[in-house]
Structure 1
Amino acid sequence: MAFWIIYWLYEISLVFILEPKRLFWTETILMAFLNVSVFYFCTYWALPQHKPKIPIVAFLIKILVLMVCYILIKTLMSYLLIYFGLSGNKTLTTNLTFYIVGSIWRLSYFIFLGTAFWFARMSILSEKRLRIKENEEQSLKNSILNMKLSFLKAQINPHFLFNTLSFLYSKSLDLSNELAKGIITLSEIMRYSLKDVDYDGKSLLSEETKHIKNLILMNNFRFQNQFNFNFRESGVKADHKIVPLILITLIENAMKFGEITDPENPVDISLEVENNQLSFSLTNKKKPADSLINDGHGIGIKYILYKLENYYPDKFSLDIKNEEKRYTLSLKIAL
């Protein structure tokens, strides 16, 4: 508002100094509103509000519409002002060509101001979005670092752990085959979790799928065979590799937030590799909201997106449908 007040004071001062007889307040105020309207129509209607890129054809069409409307409205206003003796500008009745050219020039001036304002506004918004994204990435990095530190603090000597599990496994063989199988499965899960990844930050997809099966088996022991979880895989070859924990995190989310004890609505997971493209789909019935202790699902998805964007830029698609009672996810990665 302050900008427009200063601007119109400047223009009125020029007219008052150069051609004081042409200063008609009614005409000046009406034309000021008309020209300011052009500025705002150009900024908030002709130009996109959420994209920094201008669609040229659509923009030119809107500017043409704006130009026609501006000239028609200004001409009607000028005729009425002249008729009632409220205008000192007789160009409309004496030189129509000069009037139209002058109107287009005036229109172009405010379109230029509106476009310049739009570029400045988009630049500020882009900078703001960039800062927000950088803050989110830094927050996510800090969260991952804290997770790693927590893991390291909680980690005990692996050799002692595996030796203890081996001892428990050998002692349990005579007691219960299921208990022995549970102990050796736990040992394999821990071994995979502590294993270092390759130089490229990836591990074998076959090992990842084996880890998934071990997790499912372990939870089946835990829920006494009431764990309704369907997992299908096909097309996995010995040389296929993937960034670890992406698929595991998705499956752990399904175990945490999905209704896993309903035999009529089992968690359904499919993993397929074809032409070096991994297709992973997951569907589960959601637990009632009041049965969840806390909702950490957003953190898991942010972690997955962070990994995908860093290791598979422009090589993945992630589609999520989070309905009231059902959760569906589809992930495709070019390996």
Structure 2
Amino acid sequence: MNRKPILIHASVWIVYLLLNNLLLFNWNLQRLFIVQMPFTYGLVAILFYTNVYAIINPCVQRKQYARLLLYTVLLVGSYVAIRLWLFDIVLPGLGIRTIYSETFIVYNRFIPDSLWLALQYILLSYGYWFAMYSIRLEREKRLNEQRIAALEVEKARSELAFLRAQLNPHFLYNTLNFFFSDALMVSPRLADSIMALSQMLRSVSEVGYQSLVAVGQELNYIRCYLKIQQYRFGDQLHVQFQVTGQEYEQHLTIPPLILISLVENIFKYGDVFDAATPARITVDLTDDQIRFSTMNSKKDVPNYMQGGLGLANIDKQLNLTFGNRYSFEKQEINNIFSTSLHISVTNL
């Protein structure tokens, strides 16, 4: 628990009480105020924080402004009733003299005093909430600006790396089309693999300058990748790939090469030849949600050493793009490794 805000609030209340009670009244009245101070200001403190955190915050977040007004009125009424019970019954019963002990006139003095105190701290609580809300908005704005700046830097680095590694795409595609045409007459299976590879390379070249791509483009890349692996290993390969909500594939967007990196992680570290525990890739799409999960049995050593994005880099890219609108979890239980990615694209 963070004690710093509590200490700050307590210090501010103490200083305020000293200034408000010890400096503004004469000594004869000070003794009465000092006696009843813990009760008076303990009650207004409860009023203050109840209004801020139990009424203003939830009502404003839900845009329930009529309810906000109603609850504020009820809170003031409750405060007056509790204060009346405290000063008229509890404190006199304990033998504690108050400023109302001599002339306790409910309508002429106590009610106006109570309403003035209540309205004073109600207004203070609204001012406090507005100040804290403004500070929070400013912090979120700065965090968003920092995240966008970091994303721009990351994008620039990616573009530079892409330019350094890029071959002439037209030459590459023409060469693959030539291989495809010749292979088609010899082996349709080989031709289909070449076409899948060509589509994968085209996808990579197209996303070189894009920060976001359609989910469908990423899934087509995965389909081509799995097709090549299926041709490569035949019936030995046991990988299940399931997609629901295909109608949203072109509507939703994500950073490029995120999903394929999770699939490549299966082939790098997982046992994709285990018929008893096949690797699973599951995609569930809705109009504003992306859920992508993988599960595979894990091998003791990697199948190959070629590097990819890595799970840490995937998490970094997702954080730069989606902030708190995503969750990425990974776990290993009984040698079964799984990942779960959930992205909310609302208000992107």
Q: Same fold (TM over 0.5)?
A: yes
Partner Cα separation in structure 2 for residue 284 and residue 42 of structure 1: 46
Residues 271 and 299, structure 2, Cα contact 8 Å, conserved in 1? no
The answer to whether 1:256 aligns with 2:269 is no
1:14 to 12, 20, 24: 24
Written as runs of structure 1 = structure 2, the 5 A alignment for 1:81-92 is: 81-82=91-92, 84=95, 86-90=97-101
Q: CA deviation at 1:103?
A: 0.9
User: Are the structure 2 counterparts of residues 245 and 113 from structure 1 closer, same or farther at C-alpha, using a change threshold of 3 Å?
Assistant: closer
CA drift of 1:127 comes to 1.4
State the partner residue of 2:7: none
Instruction: State the 1:283 CA deviation.
Output: 4.9
Deviation at 1:131, TM superposition (A): 1.6
The answer to whether residue 45 in structure 2 is matched with residue 36 in structure 1 is yes
CA apart distance, 1:302: 4.8
* TM-score when normalising by structure 2: 0.65
The answer as to 2:158 corresponding to 1:147 is yes
Matched, 1:136 2:147: yes
Could you say if the C-alpha distance between residues 260 and 251 of structure 1 is closer, same or farther in structure 2, counting changes exceeding 3 Å? farther
**1:22, 1:88 within 8 Å by CA — same for their partners in 2?**
no
Q: Percent identity?
A: 19
Q: Distance in 1 between matches of 2:219 and 2:299?
A: 30
- Which stretches in structure 2 are left out of the alignment for 5+ residues? 1-9, 332-336
**1:319-334 alignment runs, 5 A limit:** none
8 Å CA contact 1:91, 1:99 repeated in 2: no
User: What is the alpha-carbon root mean square deviation over aligned residues?
Assistant: 4.9
Instruction: Rate the CA distance shift 1:179–1:304 in 2: closer, same or farther, 3 A.
Output: farther
Q: Normalising by the residue count of structure 1, what TM-score does the alignment of the two structures yield?
A: 0.67
Partner SS, residue 167 of structure 2: coil
Corresponding position: 1:119 with 2:130: yes
Deviation at 1:322, TM superposition (A): 5.2
What is aligned with 2:168? 157
1:298 aligns with 2:308: no
The CA distance in 1 between the partners of 2:285 and 2:37, in whole Å, is 71
Note the C-alpha offset of 1:34: 2.6
Question: Does the CA contact (< 8 Å) of 1:229 and 1:260 recur in 2?
Answer: no
Please give the alpha-carbon distance, in whole angstroms, between the structure 2 residues aligned to 1:112 and 1:103. Answer: 14
What is the number of residues matched between the two proteins?
311
Taking the aligned partners of 1:119 and 1:234, their CA distance within structure 2 comes to 42
CA distance in 2, matches of 1:204, 1:4: 54
Give the secondary structure class of the aligned counterpart of 1:230: strand
Which residues in structure 2 correspond to 1:10-89 (within 5 Å)? 10-12=19-21, 13-16=23-26, 20-21=28-29, 23-24=31-32, 25-48=34-57, 55-56=64-65, 57=67, 60-61=70-71, 64-65=74-75, 67-69=77-79, 71-82=81-92, 84=95, 86-89=97-100
Written as runs of structure 1 = structure 2, the 5 A alignment for 1:87-102 is: 87-90=98-101, 93-96=104-107, 98-102=109-113
Residue identity matched to 1:8:
L
Relative to structure 2, which stretch is displaced further, 177-186 or 167-176?
167-176
Task: Tell me the amino acid that sits aligned with residue 126 of structure 1.
Answer: L
| Counterpart AA for 1:298 | D
Q: CA deviation at 1:168?
A: 6.3
